[in-house]
Structure 1
């Protein structure tokens, strides 16, 4: 395979891993799934190097290879201890001044050597990268981001790592309170609509147990038709989709201008007939794309789609939530 083609596929695969809700091409999907399937080969080495234990000596020179970790580090007030990021880290605006030491799946070892990190943080799905980094002598911490509860846990772990425990505990507690309040609102709904979250239409991919987005649907008062599937982003047959006939369908932004919904069997689905197919916002405004505090904006968006009858209560919740979390969410610009 020509080098240019190989680099292009790697970049596409990394984009998928960063934005799990917005897959862009079949080639990218294949590459991302291959990375996921082989990553566990390196997990043992990565965990051995890091001990997977955040309560070690606080880091003063940190590097983040995941946008979600970068956002959470800023949320706990550790932006000044972050000296290197990956090319997909774009929030908050201050991150643009940091040294880019690689992308989501590969490190630039020369640049990394100039940063001299005492700890590198990765996320689940980056075990292969973590293994390679630990092999090169770096201490690596791999954080999970498979469940909604991982957000508050990661806030605390990153705060402990950067010697900002009190702020991390406070941010985690406030986030958990916001989620509890949303659950209380949506639990009052008289129905729980069946929801199909389409990660990508061809091949048809959706959400499973190992995706935090499955729990997001539940919190928003919906019932994911794929919630019992084991993997995070499994294949789903069109036959099963027709049989389930969901009330609500969430589609990737990239498919907004496609016409496949007008064709059979998509056109036969209840959600399509009732005009309850919703396309995710464009990537910069997609609040569901990353498991960070900004996920609350995505929760608000989705909850209003699933339960429009609760709009008044959800509007009030969103206003309270944004005010509550504002001290931990620096502006993008």
Structure 2
């Protein structure tokens, strides 16, 4: 059942977490830039793509995370007490907000070095220049770059192996996979629902193919209204989107929901006429970590159970 699915998803998050919608205060341009930079890069396939830190150096006691998704993974693995530095964007779990900051998309190498980490967990492409410099300084760095659900599971396992939490990592990965598999079975014979997932209302940015969102929609047997857009997150012509006449419009901010419900040009779409403009926490949809399973459950609730 969908309710048990949501409960199972929550078990993979350390300390449970609050599933209520958080109000997003980040400026629109900054939000899109971070989403684009994190989720539109390519990835080497398989779980063996980034074995670039030596496990023989032992279990780390001081870890610095250079991206929000890696911070979430580390805390979910039970290594949160060993995390000594994060970025300004690392806002989950709440205790991560109080840790020393080493930058945002631009990493301050001196601040990282001052924390004396014995492991740095980075994004392979977003942190590319920082990774090179940190390795030159002799720091142990592991870099991941997942862009599919399966590759997120691989990243969790790899980080788990590096921090001495392989068993827990395997359990988290298995729960994510089971959540997606069981959800897909529930809707395999259901009538497809046409869904537009919006990153920004005006100008319109949508989630196209090659995103976690697209994979979630396929799992729910939904049609991505932006499925023929450019891969990743990109501007999507309003006329094209309206012509698709989505059954449901998913947004990530209350102000975007207000925009669609009050817009003269959108008022004749099925989603607006039927009151199917729904808000979902963007971190559950866009962040490559354990909460993607919870994001699937939230999408299921918003699309299939209303």
| TM-score interval, smaller chain | 0.7 to 0.9
- The partner residue of 2:303 within 303, 306, 318 is 306
Counterpart residue number, 2:188: 187
Q: What is the aligned counterpart of 1:296 among 282, 293, 297?
A: 293
Instruction: Return the alpha-carbon distance in structure 2 between the equivalents of residues 173 and 36 of structure 1.
Output: 24
Aligned position for 2:101: 100
Could you state the TM-score of these two structures normalised by the residue count of structure 1?
0.71
Q: Structure 1 residue 240 and structure 2 residue 240: aligned?
A: yes
Change (3 A) 1:75 1:202: same
| Residues 24/240 of structure 1: CA separation in 2 closer, same or farther (3 Å cut) | farther
Does the CA-based 8 Å contact 1:221-1:306 persist in structure 2?
no
Structure 2 residue aligned with 1:53: 51
Instruction: Give the direction of change, closer, same or farther, for the CA distance of 1:198–1:38 in structure 2 (3 Å limit).
Output: closer
Displacement, 1:165? 1.7
* 29-38 vs 149-158, greater mean Cα deviation: 29-38
Aligned to 1:68: 69
**How far 1:130 sits from its partner (Å)?**
3.5
Deviations 1:260-292 (A, max 9, x none): 5333321121211122111225x7xx6334232
Distance in 2 (alpha carbons) for counterparts of 1:24 and 1:145: 24
Q: Distance in 2 between matches of 1:178 and 1:91?
A: 22
| 1:274 alignment partner in structure 2 | 274
Does 2:198 correspond to 1:198?
yes
1:39, distance to aligned residue in structure 2 (A):
8.6
Q: How many angstroms apart in 2 are the aligned matches of 1:94 and 1:210? A: 32
Q: State the match for 1:28 in structure 2.
A: 30
Name stretches of at least 5 consecutive residues in structure 1 with no aligned partner. 1-21, 44-50, 310-333
State TM-score, norm by structure 2: 0.76
Secondary structure of the 2:85 match is strand
Q: Residue by residue, what CA displacement relative to the aligned partner does 1:137-176 show, whole Å, maximum 9, x if unpaired? A: 3443331232122221111010111122222122211221
Q: Which aligned pairs between 1:63-212 and structure 2 lie closer than 5 A? A: 63-96=64-97, 98-103=99-104, 105-123=105-123, 126-128=126-128, 130-131=130-131, 133-134=133-134, 137=137, 138-189=139-190, 191-212=191-212
CA 1:210–1:59: 2 relative to 1, 3 Å = farther
Q: How does 1:256-275 map to 2 (within 5 A)?
A: 256=256, 258-275=258-275
Deviation at 1:71, TM superposition (A): 1.4
Alignment root-mean-square deviation, CA? 3.2
Shift of the alpha carbon at 1:256?
4.5
> Deviation digits for residues 189-233 of structure 1, max 9, x if unmatched?
2x0101101111222111122321111122233111223434310
Deviations 1:38-68 (A, max 9, x none): 999xx9xxxxxxx832563255132101121
Unaligned runs of 5+ in 2: 1-23, 44-48
Q: Distance in 2 between matches of 1:207 and 1:254?
A: 18
Cα distance, 1:124 vs. partner? Answer: 5.6
Counterpart CA distance in 2 for 1:260 and 1:229 is 20
Tell me how many residue pairs correspond in the alignment.
274
Question: Within 2, Cα distance between the matches of 1:90 and 1:130?
Answer: 21
